[in-house]
Structure 1
Amino acid sequence: MKKKLLLVGSFTLFITLLFFVPTNYPSILPVFQLTEKPSVISKGTYGKTVTIDLTFGKEEIETLLKDLKAPYPHFFVSIEWLERSEPIIKSMQDKHIPIGLLGQDGAAYIEDPVLFQKEIDQFEKVMGEKPLWFRPKDYQFPMELQDVAWEHEVNLLSSSKYWDDEVPVLTKGDVLSVPLHQEERVDIKQLTKLLNSQSFLSIEQNIFGLKMNTKTFPE
């Protein structure tokens, strides 16, 4: 009897979602094309999100990942770091840590129109799928880059706050960028302290306000 009721309830829920899911978006999560035309997202609505730009480091990153707990920050990694760090990438994938692509400076995509395609192909070769999110290292998004990213079904993310000398004060909707480069680098201990100090949301949760829960029902 319980199973029959569960089936009826599930069918009813399916029909309800079928008619009331917003038509603006082709799917739930993960999702592509959060805007109706080529554009750059820099801020959410429902919480705070930490993103990490990663181009350099091994032991420090392994230490960071070892103690990292969900909800995870969103890593944007360069192709060069990606290709020389496959064991670390495997560890990140096992923990379901979100990984996007950190590109070169924005002007490079004007000078070389096929550069974006090359980087997407390299990312997919290592990761097994193309990135859902992309940002250039200098946070410059020329229209040529916006157009080609749209064609390849990749979302562009900037940020509303950047960790420079001091930790920025975050407010609701903020997307924080954290640099982990050889020439510009946040202290890993300070970063870990920040990540453990408060609750953060994924990019998609910050934009849509979605929260997924699981519940076990007795037989």
Structure 2
Amino acid sequence: MIKKILWVCILCILLFVLLPSSITAPKVLNVFKLTEDPDVIVRGMSGSALTVDISFGDTPLENWINELDAPYPLLLVDIAWAKRFSDSSALIKKKNIPVALLGSEGDLYEQNPELFAKQIEEFTELFGRKPLWFRTSDEVFPKTLQEMAWKHEVNSLGSTLRWKGGKLPTPKDGEILTVALERKATITFEDIERLRASREFHSVEDVLFPTDIKTKKIPE
């Protein structure tokens, strides 16, 4: 009887160890790669996401970041700006505001293939982690740049609409809206707050992969 039990146990162990290796595992998407091939994300499935490109701004911008409340927009920051205004960068980290890399113009990466890796390294040193998202300043993504981003496990993020102020855009399901705080920009912080108040915003990840969580109330 004991022998039979031992043989059954051994058989179960062998099945547990060997069976998974004999089955082809389903393709699992890397958590850092949100597309299956090099590509640029410009729209999601549902809801709205707000992203803010930051390459210019001093005290008023720091005050806005300080007063910013959740749900936070995704801030894409230029490395040169982040180094120049280290207090603002530290504030972004302290408040745990989602932050990503705002790069140079798209064509510059073809002229200087090492530029992308350098910016990723500088961002990682500054914010303590590699960016999940990357956007060029002009939203031009040459194919070679898309492949570089894919290799570094960073997702290329465009936008559905770049809003420059004025009349509020009509809400569209899955939209990724962008406002740019740059030297020549005419948009104000009041404009951004007006846009934020115009609809419910979610994270980029939630807009790309919406989840419907149902909860049951426990009877008292």
TM-score, normalisation: structure 2: 0.80
SS in 1 for 2:53: strand
Q: Is the contact between residue 205 and residue 211 of structure 1 (CA under 8 Å) also seen in structure 2? A: no
User: What's the CA shift for 1:185?
Assistant: 3.6
User: What's the CA shift for 1:39?
Assistant: 0.6
Take 1:212 and 1:128, find their aligned partners in 2: how far apart are those partners? 31
Runs of 4+ deviating beyond 3 Å: 210-213
Take 2:57 and 2:109, find their aligned partners in 1: how far apart are those partners? 26
Match of 1:34 in 2: 34
Match of 2:87 in 1: 87
User: What's the CA shift for 1:162?
Assistant: 1.0
Take 2:67 and 2:83, find their aligned partners in 1: how far apart are those partners? 23
Q: Is the contact between residue 47 and residue 201 of structure 2 (CA under 8 Å) also seen in structure 1? A: yes
SS in 1 for 2:145: helix
User: How many percent identity over aligned positions?
Assistant: 38
Match of 1:125 in 2: 125
Which structure has the larger Rg?
Answer: 2
Range with bigger deviation, 162-171 or 180-189 = 162-171
User: Which of 23, 29, 36 is the matching residue for 1:25?
Assistant: 29
Please give the per-residue CA displacement for 1:83-119, whole angstroms capped at 9, x wherever unaligned. Answer: 1122111211121111111111100000001110111
Take 2:211 and 2:89, find their aligned partners in 1: how far apart are those partners? 26
User: What's the CA shift for 1:43?
Assistant: 0.3
| Change over 3 Å in CA distance of 1:211–1:71 after alignment to 2 | farther
Take 2:65 and 2:89, find their aligned partners in 1: how far apart are those partners? 10
**Gapped regions of structure 1 (runs ≥ 5):** 1-21
Q: Is the contact between residue 106 and residue 136 of structure 2 (CA under 8 Å) also seen in structure 1? A: yes
Work out the number of aligned pairs and report it: 190
Match of 2:201 in 1: 200
SS in 2 for 1:137: coil
Alignment of 1:147 onto 2:147: yes
Take 2:211 and 2:154, find their aligned partners in 1: how far apart are those partners? 20
Q: How does 1:151-170 map to 2 (within 5 A)?
A: 151-166=151-166, 167-170=168-171
SS in 1 for 2:106: coil
| Change over 3 Å in CA distance of 1:211–1:58 after alignment to 2 | farther
Q: Is the contact between residue 34 and residue 155 of structure 1 (CA under 8 Å) also seen in structure 2? A: yes
Q: What's the RMSD between the two structures over aligned residues? A: 2.1
User: What's the CA shift for 1:127?
Assistant: 0.9
SS in 1 for 2:75: strand
User: What's the CA shift for 1:41?
Assistant: 0.4
Take 2:158 and 2:34, find their aligned partners in 1: how far apart are those partners? 14
Q: Is the contact between residue 51 and residue 74 of structure 1 (CA under 8 Å) also seen in structure 2? A: yes
Q: How does 1:58-137 map to 2 (within 5 A)?
A: 58-137=58-137
Range with bigger deviation, 150-159 or 186-195 = 186-195
TM-score, normalisation: structure 1: 0.81
Q: Is the contact between residue 64 and residue 192 of structure 1 (CA under 8 Å) also seen in structure 2? A: no
Take 2:193 and 2:40, find their aligned partners in 1: how far apart are those partners? 28
| Change over 3 Å in CA distance of 1:116–1:211 after alignment to 2 | farther
User: What's the CA shift for 1:165?
Assistant: 4.4
Take 1:100 and 1:55, find their aligned partners in 2: how far apart are those partners? 12
**Gapped regions of structure 2 (runs ≥ 5):** 1-25
